[in-house]
């Protein structure tokens, strides 16, 4: 019944109730002032939101008369399904803001390793407009092998490798689907009068549409595999992840997965081993995977 009532609420009401549950679950208490500050509403409206949340999930919330605050109940059962990555982002960056220019104070002390490279927002804006409106993009692209070249690309997705931001696109110069590092793009222009051909669409990108099942196991040459199983939340000593072929190499490199057929990489960073290296046969960026060898090299 609570789920049905929740779905009938407006999106703004759901956002405020989600904020209440987030504060209760991860901070432990909730004040009316928290709602007022976060959403810019009146205290009377904040009181109504808290009453509504208690109606929907009475078992989740109690009131502490001494502290004059709402606190987490011992019978708490979540009403909202928050993802772990979103919760961690909220905890260290704040639950968002009505004004993006305002700095949101973190809820817990933390230390983050900042990216060394971030895209220029004007360049990124052109890229995302081209993606959303399905237009080609004219760019000056700088690569290590070819230097500066003029290109027309048809972008359709962003890729976060964990180190850099790329855009996946059809390259009209090479007639191939490729990844372009956004920080290497200069002078982008959206070509809103240039049609996109069928063979340039994402549905025709075999590396994008192909899904690869990666079976990862604790590295056979590392001690205490049971700890690795705990760290990566493995089931029966295995971790199965399904990713697009276009990002396989990035994923395996970021996680330092030993992809050699005989798990011959040494180093404390190699906690995982790709049990079946042939599973990434035909993946174009497999060469980025640590220790990967083509089947001809293995033989």
**pLDDT of res. 102:** 37
Can you tell me which residue has the tokens 């995982």? 272
Considering the four listed CATH numbers 2.20.28, 3.40.50, 2.30.30, 2.60.120, the one that applies to the domain covering 121-205 is: 2.30.30
DSSP 236: T
Ordered by start, the domain boundaries in the chain are 2-93, 121-205, 210-298
For residues 30 and 63, what is the distance between their CA atoms, to the nearest angstrom? 9
Topology of the domain comprising 2-93: Arc Repressor Mutant, subunit A (1.10.10)
CA 21 to chain centre: 22
Residue 95 is predicted with a pLDDT of 63
**Model pLDDT, residue 297:** 60
Per residue in 173-232, pLDDT (tens digit) is: 999 999 999 999 999 999 988 899 999 999 999 999 999 999 999 999 999 999 999 999
Residue 235 DSSP one-character state: B
pLDDT at 112: 61
Q: Is the pTM of this model over 0.85?
A: no
pLDDT of residue 82: 86
Sheet with 176-181: strands ordered across = 176-181, 165-171, 147-160, 137-143, 185-190
Closest CA to 281 of 298, 258, 264, 257: 298
pLDDT at 32: 94
Q: Which stretches in the chain have pLDDT values below 70? A: 1-2, 94-115, 297-299
């Amino acid at each position: 019944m609570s789920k049905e009532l929740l779905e009938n609420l407006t999106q703004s009401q759901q956002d405020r109730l989600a904020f209440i549950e987030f504060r209760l679950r991860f901070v432990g208490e909730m004040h009316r002032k928290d709602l007022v500050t976060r959403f810019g509403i009146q205290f009377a409206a904040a009181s109504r939101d808290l009453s509504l949340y208690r109606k929907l999930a009475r078992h989740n919330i109690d009131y502490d008369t001494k502290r004059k605050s709402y606190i987490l109940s011992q019978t708490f059962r979540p009403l909202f399904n928050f993802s772990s990555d979103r919760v961690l982002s909220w905890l260290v960056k704040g639950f968002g803001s009505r004004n993006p220019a305002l700095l949101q104070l973190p809820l817990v002390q933390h230390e983050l390793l900042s990216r060394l490279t971030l895209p220029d927002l004007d360049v990124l804006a052109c890229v995302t407009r081209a993606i959303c409106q399905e237009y080609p993009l004219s760019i000056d692209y700088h690569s290590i092998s070819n230097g500066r070249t003029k290109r027309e690309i048809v972008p359709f997705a962003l890729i976060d490798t964990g180190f850099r931001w790329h855009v996946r696109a059809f390259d009209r110069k090479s007639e191939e689907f490729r990844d372009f590092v956004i920080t290497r793009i200069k002078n982008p222009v959206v070509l809103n009068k240039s049609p996109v051909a069928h063979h340039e669409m994402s549905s025709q990108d075999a590396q994008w549409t192909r899904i690869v099942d990666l079976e990862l196991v604790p590295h056979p040459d590392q001690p205490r595999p049971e700890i690795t199983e705990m760290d990566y939340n493995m089931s029966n000593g295995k971790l199965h992840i399904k990713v697009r072929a276009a990002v396989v190499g990035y994923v395996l490199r970021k996680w330092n997965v030993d992809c050699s057929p005989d798990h011959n990489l040494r180093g404390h960073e190699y906690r995982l081993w790709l049990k079946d290296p042939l599973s990434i046969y035909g993946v174009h960026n497999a060469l980025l995977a640590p220790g990967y060898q083509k089947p001809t090299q293995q033989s």
